[in-house]
Structure 1
Protein backbone atom coordinates (compact mmCIF):
# COMPACT_ATOMS: atom_id res chain seq x y z
CA UNK A 1 0.00 0.00 0.00
CA UNK A 2 1.46 3.36 -1.05
CA UNK A 3 1.57 6.36 1.24
CA UNK A 4 2.76 9.99 1.21
CA UNK A 5 4.75 11.48 4.14
CA UNK A 6 5.55 15.22 4.56
CA UNK A 7 4.61 15.87 0.90
CA UNK A 8 7.42 13.60 -0.24
CA UNK A 9 8.03 9.88 -0.22
CA UNK A 10 11.25 7.95 -0.45
CA UNK A 11 10.63 5.17 -2.93
CA UNK A 12 12.59 2.18 -1.66
CA UNK A 13 13.74 -0.45 -4.12
CA UNK A 14 16.05 -3.40 -3.72
CA UNK A 15 18.14 -2.80 -6.81
CA UNK A 16 20.19 -5.93 -6.29
CA UNK A 17 17.11 -8.14 -6.53
CA UNK A 18 16.29 -7.49 -10.17
CA UNK A 19 14.16 -4.37 -9.99
CA UNK A 20 11.59 -4.17 -12.80
CA UNK A 21 12.58 -1.47 -15.33
CA UNK A 22 9.25 0.29 -14.95
CA UNK A 23 9.81 0.89 -11.24
CA UNK A 24 12.88 3.03 -11.84
CA UNK A 25 11.35 4.81 -14.79
CA UNK A 26 8.53 6.10 -12.59
CA UNK A 27 10.94 8.51 -10.89
CA UNK A 28 12.39 11.58 -12.59
CA UNK A 29 16.00 11.13 -13.69
CA UNK A 30 16.97 14.10 -11.53
CA UNK A 31 15.62 12.61 -8.29
CA UNK A 32 18.50 12.22 -5.82
CA UNK A 33 19.13 8.65 -4.80
CA UNK A 34 21.53 6.62 -2.67
CA UNK A 35 22.39 2.94 -3.08
CA UNK A 36 24.02 0.91 -0.30
CA UNK A 37 26.84 -1.10 -1.88
CA UNK A 38 28.58 -2.49 1.20
CA UNK A 39 27.27 -3.54 4.61
CA UNK A 40 27.00 -6.56 6.88
CA UNK A 41 23.21 -6.94 6.86
CA UNK A 42 20.44 -6.91 4.32
CA UNK A 43 18.61 -9.11 1.83
CA UNK A 44 20.97 -8.44 -1.06
CA UNK A 45 20.51 -11.41 -3.38
CA UNK A 46 23.86 -11.96 -5.13
CA UNK A 47 25.61 -9.08 -3.34
CA UNK A 48 28.05 -10.19 -0.64
CA UNK A 49 27.83 -9.03 2.98
CA UNK A 50 30.90 -7.90 4.88
CA UNK A 51 31.71 -5.50 7.69
CA UNK A 52 32.17 -2.01 6.25
CA UNK A 53 30.30 0.66 4.36
CA UNK A 54 30.01 2.08 0.86
CA UNK A 55 27.22 3.92 -0.90
CA UNK A 56 26.67 5.56 -4.28
CA UNK A 57 24.98 8.97 -4.28
CA UNK A 58 23.47 10.18 -7.55
CA UNK A 59 22.33 13.80 -7.66
CA UNK A 60 21.98 16.40 -10.43
CA UNK A 61 23.79 14.14 -12.88
CA UNK A 62 26.71 13.62 -10.49
CA UNK A 63 27.81 10.21 -9.21
CA UNK A 64 29.62 10.34 -5.88
CA UNK A 65 30.97 7.23 -4.19
CA UNK A 66 30.98 7.49 -0.40
CA UNK A 67 33.47 5.06 1.17
CA UNK A 68 34.64 1.78 -0.38
CA UNK A 69 34.13 -1.01 2.15
CA UNK A 70 36.45 -3.44 3.88
CA UNK A 71 37.65 -5.72 1.07
CA UNK A 72 38.53 -4.74 -2.50
CA UNK A 73 37.35 -8.08 -3.94
CA UNK A 74 33.98 -7.96 -2.18
CA UNK A 75 33.56 -4.30 -3.13
CA UNK A 76 34.37 -5.00 -6.79
CA UNK A 77 31.89 -7.90 -6.81
CA UNK A 78 29.12 -5.78 -5.30
CA UNK A 79 29.52 -2.79 -7.61
CA UNK A 80 29.64 -5.06 -10.67
CA UNK A 81 26.60 -7.04 -9.53
CA UNK A 82 24.70 -3.82 -8.80
CA UNK A 83 25.56 -2.51 -12.28
CA UNK A 84 27.65 0.42 -11.03
CA UNK A 85 30.23 1.68 -13.53
CA UNK A 86 33.17 3.00 -11.51
CA UNK A 87 34.62 4.67 -14.58
CA UNK A 88 31.67 7.09 -14.54
CA UNK A 89 32.27 8.36 -11.00
CA UNK A 90 32.62 12.11 -10.66
CA UNK A 91 34.31 11.90 -7.28
CA UNK A 92 34.93 9.73 -4.23
CA UNK A 93 34.53 10.76 -0.58
CA UNK A 94 36.39 8.75 2.06
CA UNK A 95 34.89 9.41 5.46
CA UNK A 96 37.94 8.45 7.52
CA UNK A 97 41.07 6.34 7.57
CA UNK A 98 39.73 3.03 8.94
CA UNK A 99 40.17 0.06 6.63
CA UNK A 100 36.50 -0.96 6.62
CA UNK A 101 35.81 2.26 4.70
CA UNK A 102 38.91 2.47 2.49
CA UNK A 103 40.05 -1.00 1.40
CA UNK A 104 37.95 -1.03 -1.78
CA UNK A 105 39.72 2.07 -3.09
CA UNK A 106 42.14 -0.21 -4.95
CA UNK A 107 39.24 -1.45 -7.08
CA UNK A 108 38.15 2.13 -7.80
CA UNK A 109 41.62 3.21 -8.87
CA UNK A 110 42.06 0.15 -11.08
CA UNK A 111 39.07 1.34 -13.11
CA UNK A 112 39.19 5.11 -12.63
CA UNK A 113 42.75 6.16 -11.69
CA UNK A 114 42.13 9.88 -12.25
CA UNK A 115 39.03 10.28 -10.09
CA UNK A 116 39.24 13.01 -7.44
CA UNK A 117 39.14 11.61 -3.90
CA UNK A 118 38.05 13.91 -1.08
CA UNK A 119 39.47 12.80 2.26
CA UNK A 120 40.10 14.31 5.69
CA UNK A 121 43.42 16.11 5.99
CA UNK A 122 45.52 14.69 8.81
CA UNK A 123 49.14 15.23 9.71
CA UNK A 124 51.07 12.09 8.71
CA UNK A 125 47.77 10.73 7.43
CA UNK A 126 46.97 7.68 5.35
CA UNK A 127 45.85 9.83 2.43
CA UNK A 128 49.04 11.89 2.23
CA UNK A 129 49.50 15.45 3.41
CA UNK A 130 52.11 18.13 3.90
CA UNK A 131 53.51 19.95 6.88
CA UNK A 132 55.71 23.03 7.23
CA UNK A 133 59.11 22.01 8.54
CA UNK A 134 58.58 24.55 11.30
CA UNK A 135 56.35 21.99 13.06
CA UNK A 136 59.34 20.65 15.03
CA UNK A 137 61.78 22.40 17.36
CA UNK A 138 65.29 22.87 16.10
CA UNK A 139 68.61 22.94 17.91
CA UNK A 140 71.37 24.59 15.92
CA UNK A 141 73.97 23.53 18.51
CA UNK A 142 73.74 19.90 17.39
CA UNK A 143 76.16 18.59 14.75
CA UNK A 144 74.66 18.33 11.26
CA UNK A 145 74.62 14.52 11.32
CA UNK A 146 72.34 14.65 14.36
CA UNK A 147 69.86 17.08 12.81
CA UNK A 148 66.97 16.40 10.50
CA UNK A 149 68.01 17.05 6.91
CA UNK A 150 71.45 18.10 8.20
CA UNK A 151 69.84 21.19 9.67
CA UNK A 152 68.50 22.43 6.30
CA UNK A 153 65.00 20.95 5.97
CA UNK A 154 62.74 21.78 3.02
CA UNK A 155 60.21 24.49 3.75
CA UNK A 156 57.38 21.96 3.31
CA UNK A 157 57.53 18.26 4.11
CA UNK A 158 55.44 16.28 1.62
CA UNK A 159 54.18 13.07 3.23
CA UNK A 160 53.38 9.86 1.43
CA UNK A 161 50.08 8.08 0.90
CA UNK A 162 49.03 4.45 0.92
CA UNK A 163 47.86 5.12 -2.65
CA UNK A 164 50.72 7.20 -4.11
CA UNK A 165 49.17 7.62 -7.58
CA UNK A 166 45.70 8.63 -6.36
CA UNK A 167 44.41 12.19 -6.73
CA UNK A 168 43.55 13.11 -3.15
CA UNK A 169 41.96 16.39 -2.17
CA UNK A 170 42.68 16.66 1.58
CA UNK A 171 40.06 18.71 3.43
CA UNK A 172 40.62 20.49 6.73
CA UNK A 173 37.26 22.29 6.88
CA UNK A 174 33.72 21.90 5.59
CA UNK A 175 33.87 22.39 1.82
CA UNK A 176 31.37 22.57 -1.01
CA UNK A 177 32.80 19.93 -3.36
CA UNK A 178 30.07 20.33 -6.01
CA UNK A 179 27.09 22.68 -6.35
CA UNK A 180 24.82 21.88 -3.41
CA UNK A 181 27.11 19.11 -2.12
CA UNK A 182 29.28 19.58 0.97
CA UNK A 183 31.90 17.47 2.69
CA UNK A 184 31.39 18.22 6.39
CA UNK A 185 34.43 17.73 8.59
CA UNK A 186 34.26 16.97 12.30
CA UNK A 187 36.91 15.76 14.74
CA UNK A 188 36.43 13.03 17.32
CA UNK A 189 36.98 13.72 21.01
CA UNK A 190 35.86 10.20 21.97
CA UNK A 191 38.38 7.91 23.72
CA UNK A 192 39.82 5.45 21.22
CA UNK A 193 39.40 7.74 18.22
CA UNK A 194 40.39 11.11 19.72
CA UNK A 195 41.67 13.57 17.08
CA UNK A 196 40.37 11.40 14.23
CA UNK A 197 38.90 13.61 11.51
CA UNK A 198 35.84 12.37 9.67
CA UNK A 199 34.01 13.54 6.58
CA UNK A 200 30.24 13.33 6.18
CA UNK A 201 28.38 14.22 3.00
CA UNK A 202 25.50 16.71 2.86
CA UNK A 203 23.46 17.04 -0.34
CA UNK A 204 20.86 19.76 -0.85
CA UNK A 205 17.60 18.36 -2.23
CA UNK A 206 14.17 19.95 -2.75
CA UNK A 207 13.00 18.15 0.40
CA UNK A 208 15.92 19.20 2.63
CA UNK A 209 19.40 17.87 3.24
CA UNK A 210 20.47 14.30 2.56
CA UNK A 211 23.16 13.57 5.18
CA UNK A 212 25.39 10.52 4.64
CA UNK A 213 27.65 9.49 7.52
CA UNK A 214 30.37 6.85 7.55
CA UNK A 215 30.99 5.90 11.18
CA UNK A 216 30.11 9.05 13.16
CA UNK A 217 33.17 8.72 15.40
CA UNK A 218 32.93 12.39 16.48
CA UNK A 219 29.31 11.74 17.57
CA UNK A 220 26.17 11.75 15.45
CA UNK A 221 24.59 14.78 17.22
CA UNK A 222 27.73 16.82 16.51
CA UNK A 223 27.66 15.89 12.82
CA UNK A 224 23.93 16.63 12.56
CA UNK A 225 24.49 20.02 14.23
CA UNK A 226 27.16 20.87 11.66
CA UNK A 227 24.86 19.83 8.81
CA UNK A 228 22.04 21.93 10.27
CA UNK A 229 24.24 25.00 9.83
CA UNK A 230 23.89 24.44 6.08
CA UNK A 231 20.16 23.73 6.26
CA UNK A 232 18.18 23.15 9.47
CA UNK A 233 15.85 20.78 7.59
CA UNK A 234 17.45 17.32 7.29
CA UNK A 235 15.31 15.16 5.06
CA UNK A 236 17.27 11.91 5.50
CA UNK A 237 20.19 10.83 7.70
CA UNK A 238 21.77 7.55 6.56
CA UNK A 239 24.89 5.54 7.42
CA UNK A 240 26.83 4.28 10.41
CA UNK A 241 26.02 5.86 13.78
CA UNK A 242 28.71 3.99 15.79
CA UNK A 243 26.70 2.65 18.72
CA UNK A 244 27.45 -0.96 17.86
CA UNK A 245 27.99 -2.08 21.46
CA UNK A 246 26.59 0.89 23.36
CA UNK A 247 24.51 0.34 26.47
CA UNK A 248 20.84 1.32 26.72
CA UNK A 249 21.62 4.62 28.46
CA UNK A 250 23.99 5.75 25.72
CA UNK A 251 21.46 4.82 23.04
CA UNK A 252 18.69 6.72 24.86
CA UNK A 253 21.01 9.72 25.15
CA UNK A 254 21.74 9.92 21.43
CA UNK A 255 18.04 9.62 20.53
CA UNK A 256 17.27 12.44 22.94
CA UNK A 257 20.15 14.54 21.56
CA UNK A 258 18.70 14.24 18.03
CA UNK A 259 15.19 15.38 19.05
CA UNK A 260 15.80 19.15 18.70
CA UNK A 261 16.76 18.72 15.03
CA UNK A 262 14.27 18.58 12.18
CA UNK A 263 14.90 15.13 10.70
CA UNK A 264 12.24 13.67 8.40
CA UNK A 265 13.66 10.17 7.99
CA UNK A 266 16.48 8.15 9.50
CA UNK A 267 18.13 5.11 7.87
CA UNK A 268 20.86 3.63 10.09
CA UNK A 269 23.33 1.05 8.88
CA UNK A 270 26.86 -0.32 9.30
CA UNK A 271 28.18 0.27 12.85
CA UNK A 272 24.91 1.59 14.30
CA UNK A 273 24.34 -1.66 16.22
CA UNK A 274 21.43 -4.05 16.64
CA UNK A 275 20.13 -2.56 19.89
CA UNK A 276 20.35 0.91 18.37
CA UNK A 277 18.48 -0.24 15.26
CA UNK A 278 15.67 -1.45 17.51
CA UNK A 279 15.62 1.73 19.61
CA UNK A 280 15.57 3.98 16.54
CA UNK A 281 12.74 1.92 15.03
CA UNK A 282 10.72 2.51 18.19
CA UNK A 283 11.59 6.22 18.31
CA UNK A 284 11.03 7.08 14.64
CA UNK A 285 8.29 4.62 13.69
CA UNK A 286 7.31 5.05 10.03
CA UNK A 287 10.13 7.59 9.65
CA UNK A 288 12.67 4.79 10.18
CA UNK A 289 13.86 3.41 6.83
CA UNK A 290 15.59 0.09 6.33
CA UNK A 291 18.95 0.56 4.60
CA UNK A 292 20.55 -2.88 4.33
CA UNK A 293 22.95 -3.95 1.59
CA UNK A 294 21.44 -3.57 -1.87
CA UNK A 295 18.78 -1.02 -0.94
CA UNK A 296 18.32 2.11 -3.06
CA UNK A 297 16.56 5.11 -1.54
CA UNK A 298 15.11 7.54 -4.07
CA UNK A 299 14.16 10.99 -2.80
CA UNK A 300 11.07 11.44 -4.91
CA UNK A 301 7.66 13.07 -4.70
CA UNK A 302 5.98 10.13 -6.43
CA UNK A 303 4.08 7.64 -4.30
CA UNK A 304 5.66 4.27 -3.79
CA UNK A 305 5.68 1.22 -1.49
CA UNK A 306 5.45 1.97 2.21
CA UNK A 307 8.00 -0.63 3.20
CA UNK A 308 10.50 -1.59 4.42
CA UNK A 309 9.67 0.93 7.11
CA UNK A 310 9.40 1.03 10.85
CA UNK A 311 9.23 -2.25 12.73
CA UNK A 312 8.87 -4.26 9.52
CA UNK A 313 12.58 -3.60 8.97
CA UNK A 314 13.84 -5.98 11.69
CA UNK A 315 16.74 -8.42 11.24
CA UNK A 316 16.11 -12.01 10.28
CA UNK A 317 17.72 -14.53 12.69
CA UNK A 318 20.47 -15.29 10.15
CA UNK A 319 21.25 -11.62 9.62
CA UNK A 320 21.38 -11.06 13.38
CA UNK A 321 23.93 -13.85 13.90
CA UNK A 322 26.14 -12.66 11.03
CA UNK A 323 26.00 -9.04 12.14
CA UNK A 324 26.89 -9.92 15.74
CA UNK A 325 29.87 -12.00 14.62
CA UNK A 326 31.24 -9.15 12.51
CA UNK A 327 30.57 -6.53 15.17
CA UNK A 328 32.68 -8.40 17.71
CA UNK A 329 35.87 -7.87 15.68
CA UNK A 330 38.04 -5.02 14.43
CA UNK A 331 37.84 -1.29 15.06
CA UNK A 332 34.25 -1.55 16.30
CA UNK A 333 34.87 -3.90 19.23
CA UNK A 334 35.04 -1.23 21.92
CA UNK A 335 35.69 -2.01 25.55
CA UNK A 336 33.46 0.81 26.76
CA UNK A 337 29.98 1.93 25.70
CA UNK A 338 29.95 4.76 23.19
CA UNK A 339 28.25 7.70 24.83
CA UNK A 340 26.38 10.42 22.95
CA UNK A 341 28.38 13.61 22.68
Structure 2
Protein backbone atom coordinates (compact mmCIF):
# COMPACT_ATOMS: atom_id res chain seq x y z
CA UNK A 1 0.00 0.00 0.00
CA UNK A 2 1.43 3.36 -1.03
CA UNK A 3 1.72 6.31 1.34
CA UNK A 4 0.11 9.64 0.41
CA UNK A 5 1.68 12.92 1.46
CA UNK A 6 -0.78 15.82 1.24
CA UNK A 7 0.49 19.36 1.77
CA UNK A 8 -2.33 21.25 3.48
CA UNK A 9 -0.36 24.47 3.85
CA UNK A 10 2.84 25.87 2.41
CA UNK A 11 3.98 29.39 1.60
CA UNK A 12 3.58 28.68 -2.11
CA UNK A 13 -0.11 28.97 -3.07
CA UNK A 14 -2.34 26.96 -5.42
CA UNK A 15 -5.48 28.04 -7.23
CA UNK A 16 -8.64 27.33 -5.26
CA UNK A 17 -6.81 26.77 -1.99
CA UNK A 18 -5.90 29.04 0.90
CA UNK A 19 -2.41 29.41 2.25
CA UNK A 20 -0.50 31.29 4.89
CA UNK A 21 3.05 31.45 6.17
CA UNK A 22 3.50 28.00 7.67
CA UNK A 23 3.70 24.27 7.05
CA UNK A 24 1.31 21.36 7.49
CA UNK A 25 1.45 17.89 5.99
CA UNK A 26 -1.07 15.04 6.22
CA UNK A 27 0.38 11.53 5.97
CA UNK A 28 -1.90 8.68 4.92
CA UNK A 29 -0.34 5.23 5.05
CA UNK A 30 -0.41 2.49 7.65
CA UNK A 31 -1.27 5.37 9.99
CA UNK A 32 -2.98 8.69 9.34
CA UNK A 33 -1.25 11.57 11.08
CA UNK A 34 -0.68 15.27 10.75
CA UNK A 35 2.82 16.72 10.87
CA UNK A 36 2.57 20.35 11.97
CA UNK A 37 -0.58 22.43 11.62
CA UNK A 38 0.43 25.73 10.06
CA UNK A 39 -0.63 29.05 11.55
CA UNK A 40 -4.29 29.35 10.62
CA UNK A 41 -7.01 26.75 11.33
CA UNK A 42 -9.18 28.27 8.60
CA UNK A 43 -6.56 27.28 6.05
CA UNK A 44 -6.59 23.69 7.29
CA UNK A 45 -10.38 23.54 7.31
CA UNK A 46 -10.75 24.93 3.79
CA UNK A 47 -7.93 22.99 2.17
CA UNK A 48 -8.70 19.64 3.76
CA UNK A 49 -12.26 19.91 2.45
CA UNK A 50 -11.15 21.05 -1.00
CA UNK A 51 -8.62 18.22 -1.24
CA UNK A 52 -10.97 15.57 0.15
CA UNK A 53 -8.55 14.90 3.00
CA UNK A 54 -10.47 14.47 6.23
CA UNK A 55 -8.77 15.65 9.39
CA UNK A 56 -11.03 13.52 11.57
CA UNK A 57 -10.04 10.07 12.73
CA UNK A 58 -6.31 10.75 12.90
CA UNK A 59 -4.17 8.25 14.77
CA UNK A 60 -1.88 10.91 16.25
CA UNK A 61 -0.24 14.24 15.44
CA UNK A 62 3.39 15.35 15.43
CA UNK A 63 4.75 18.84 16.08
CA UNK A 64 8.23 19.70 14.88
CA UNK A 65 8.69 22.68 17.22
CA UNK A 66 6.70 25.23 19.18
CA UNK A 67 6.54 28.12 16.69
CA UNK A 68 3.20 29.65 15.76
CA UNK A 69 3.51 28.93 12.04
CA UNK A 70 3.68 25.22 12.89
CA UNK A 71 1.33 24.82 15.86
CA UNK A 72 -1.33 27.51 15.26
CA UNK A 73 -3.86 25.09 13.81
CA UNK A 74 -3.60 22.44 16.52
CA UNK A 75 -6.55 23.63 18.65
CA UNK A 76 -8.75 22.94 15.61
CA UNK A 77 -7.20 19.50 15.17
CA UNK A 78 -7.78 18.69 18.84
CA UNK A 79 -11.42 19.73 18.48
CA UNK A 80 -11.83 17.23 15.63
CA UNK A 81 -9.84 14.50 17.38
CA UNK A 82 -10.27 14.91 21.15
CA UNK A 83 -7.80 12.99 23.24
CA UNK A 84 -5.45 11.81 20.48
CA UNK A 85 -1.69 11.75 21.15
CA UNK A 86 0.38 14.81 20.25
CA UNK A 87 4.09 14.02 20.00
CA UNK A 88 5.96 17.28 20.57
CA UNK A 89 9.26 18.56 21.92
CA UNK A 90 9.18 19.64 25.57
CA UNK A 91 8.09 23.08 26.64
CA UNK A 92 4.32 23.38 26.33
CA UNK A 93 2.78 20.16 27.60
CA UNK A 94 0.18 22.00 29.69
CA UNK A 95 -0.92 24.01 26.66
CA UNK A 96 -1.29 20.86 24.57
CA UNK A 97 -3.41 19.32 27.30
CA UNK A 98 -5.62 22.40 27.44
CA UNK A 99 -6.15 22.10 23.71
CA UNK A 100 -7.44 18.58 24.34
CA UNK A 101 -4.52 16.36 23.31
CA UNK A 102 -2.95 13.46 25.11
CA UNK A 103 0.36 15.32 25.30
CA UNK A 104 3.41 13.11 24.77
CA UNK A 105 6.71 14.91 25.33
CA UNK A 106 9.43 13.62 23.03
CA UNK A 107 12.75 13.60 24.86
CA UNK A 108 14.89 11.36 22.66
CA UNK A 109 15.02 9.59 19.32
CA UNK A 110 12.88 6.49 18.96
CA UNK A 111 9.98 4.75 17.27
CA UNK A 112 6.61 6.44 17.76
CA UNK A 113 4.64 3.53 16.31
CA UNK A 114 5.86 0.67 14.11
CA UNK A 115 7.46 2.15 11.00
CA UNK A 116 7.42 5.79 12.15
CA UNK A 117 10.35 7.36 13.98
CA UNK A 118 11.30 10.65 15.60
CA UNK A 119 14.76 12.15 15.51
CA UNK A 120 14.23 13.36 19.04
CA UNK A 121 14.45 17.09 19.74
CA UNK A 122 17.81 18.25 18.39
CA UNK A 123 19.29 21.02 20.52
CA UNK A 124 16.33 20.31 22.82
CA UNK A 125 14.10 22.18 20.41
CA UNK A 126 13.04 20.58 17.14
CA UNK A 127 12.29 17.08 15.87
CA UNK A 128 11.83 15.48 12.46
CA UNK A 129 9.87 12.35 11.59
CA UNK A 130 10.71 9.33 9.47
CA UNK A 131 8.02 7.27 7.75
CA UNK A 132 8.59 3.83 6.30
CA UNK A 133 6.94 3.57 2.86
CA UNK A 134 7.02 1.02 0.03
CA UNK A 135 9.57 3.26 -1.72
CA UNK A 136 11.80 3.66 1.34
CA UNK A 137 12.14 6.12 4.19
CA UNK A 138 10.49 9.54 3.93
CA UNK A 139 11.93 12.18 6.26
CA UNK A 140 9.62 15.07 7.16
CA UNK A 141 11.06 18.24 8.66
CA UNK A 142 9.39 21.35 10.04
CA UNK A 143 11.78 24.33 9.91
CA UNK A 144 15.16 22.62 10.33
CA UNK A 145 16.59 25.19 12.71
CA UNK A 146 19.20 22.63 13.86
CA UNK A 147 20.03 21.85 10.20
CA UNK A 148 18.16 19.66 7.75
CA UNK A 149 21.27 17.52 7.33
CA UNK A 150 21.50 16.91 11.09
CA UNK A 151 17.79 16.12 11.41
CA UNK A 152 17.89 13.74 8.44
CA UNK A 153 20.99 12.05 9.83
CA UNK A 154 19.30 11.57 13.19
CA UNK A 155 16.25 9.95 11.57
CA UNK A 156 18.45 7.67 9.46
CA UNK A 157 20.35 6.59 12.56
CA UNK A 158 17.30 5.78 14.67
CA UNK A 159 15.44 4.03 11.82
CA UNK A 160 18.40 1.99 10.60
CA UNK A 161 18.08 3.21 7.02
CA UNK A 162 21.26 4.08 5.12
CA UNK A 163 19.55 6.63 2.87
CA UNK A 164 16.24 8.48 2.67
CA UNK A 165 13.98 8.05 -0.34
CA UNK A 166 12.65 11.59 0.14
CA UNK A 167 13.30 14.51 2.47
CA UNK A 168 10.56 17.15 2.46
CA UNK A 169 9.66 20.24 4.43
CA UNK A 170 11.39 23.45 5.35
CA UNK A 171 15.18 23.65 5.32
CA UNK A 172 15.46 27.14 6.90
CA UNK A 173 17.55 28.97 4.28
CA UNK A 174 20.33 26.37 4.18
CA UNK A 175 23.83 26.88 2.84
CA UNK A 176 24.96 25.11 -0.33
CA UNK A 177 27.17 22.93 1.87
CA UNK A 178 24.19 21.81 3.92
CA UNK A 179 22.27 20.97 0.75
CA UNK A 180 25.23 19.01 -0.59
CA UNK A 181 25.28 16.96 2.61
CA UNK A 182 21.53 16.41 2.32
CA UNK A 183 21.83 15.31 -1.31
CA UNK A 184 24.24 12.58 -0.24
CA UNK A 185 21.61 11.26 2.17
CA UNK A 186 18.48 11.44 -0.01
CA UNK A 187 17.27 10.20 -3.36
CA UNK A 188 14.76 13.04 -3.67
CA UNK A 189 14.54 16.48 -2.05
CA UNK A 190 11.36 18.58 -1.71
CA UNK A 191 12.14 21.99 -0.17
CA UNK A 192 9.15 23.94 1.15
CA UNK A 193 8.04 26.71 3.55
CA UNK A 194 11.10 28.71 4.67
CA UNK A 195 13.66 26.84 2.59
CA UNK A 196 13.96 29.97 0.46
CA UNK A 197 14.08 30.49 -3.30
CA UNK A 198 17.87 30.34 -3.38
CA UNK A 199 17.86 26.87 -1.84
CA UNK A 200 15.19 25.66 -4.25
CA UNK A 201 17.14 27.05 -7.20
CA UNK A 202 20.36 25.46 -5.97
CA UNK A 203 18.85 21.99 -5.63
CA UNK A 204 17.05 22.31 -8.97
CA UNK A 205 20.29 23.29 -10.76
CA UNK A 206 22.84 21.16 -8.90
CA UNK A 207 20.68 18.07 -8.39
CA UNK A 208 17.96 18.20 -11.09
CA UNK A 209 17.24 14.49 -10.76
CA UNK A 210 16.58 14.85 -7.05
CA UNK A 211 14.50 18.05 -6.96
CA UNK A 212 10.76 17.73 -6.28
CA UNK A 213 8.68 20.90 -6.50
CA UNK A 214 5.89 21.11 -3.95
CA UNK A 215 3.37 23.72 -2.79
CA UNK A 216 0.03 24.00 -1.02
CA UNK A 217 -2.16 21.19 -2.32
CA UNK A 218 0.63 18.98 -3.65
CA UNK A 219 -0.06 15.27 -3.26
CA UNK A 220 2.80 12.78 -3.47
CA UNK A 221 2.43 9.01 -3.49
CA UNK A 222 5.44 7.01 -2.36
TM-score by shorter chain over 0.5: yes
CA 1:203–1:37: 2 relative to 1, 3 Å: same
Whether 1:274 and 2:201 are equivalent positions in the alignment is no
> Offset at 1:113?
1.1
Runs of at least 5 residues in structure 2 that lack an aligned partner in the other structure: none
CA 1:109–1:259: 2 relative to 1, 3 Å: closer
Q: 1:169 aligns with which of 84, 87, 104?
A: 104
In the superposition, the TM-score normalised over structure 1's length comes to 0.61
Whether 1:55 and 2:28 are equivalent positions in the alignment is no
Q: 1:211 aligns with which of 114, 139, 143?
A: 139
SS of residue in 2 equivalent to 1:187: coil
1:162-192 C-alpha deviation (Å, 9 max, x unpaired): 551321111101121111111222324xxxx
Q: Which residue of 2 aligns with 1:109?
A: 78
Q: Which residue of 2 aligns with 1:184?
A: 119
8 A contact 2:87–2:106 mirrored in 1: yes
Aligned ranges 1:1-341 → 2 under 5 Å: 30-42=1-13, 44-60=14-30, 62-121=31-90, 125-126=91-92, 128=93, 160-161=94-95, 163-164=97-98, 165-188=100-123, 195=124, 197-229=125-157, 230=159, 231-243=161-173, 251-261=175-185, 263-299=186-222
Counterparts of 1:110 and 1:83, CA distance in 2: 19
8 A contact 1:76–1:104 mirrored in 2: no
Counterparts of 2:175 and 2:146, CA distance in 1: 15
Runs of at least 5 residues in structure 1 that lack an aligned partner in the other structure: 1-29, 129-159, 189-194, 244-249, 300-341
Please list every run of at least 4 consecutive aligned residues from structure 1 whose deviation after the TM superposition is greater than 4 angstroms.
none
Aligned length: 219
In the superposition, the TM-score normalised over structure 2's length comes to 0.93
CA 1:87–1:219: 2 relative to 1, 3 Å: same
> Offset at 1:238?
0.3
> Offset at 1:67?
0.4
> Offset at 1:260?
3.8
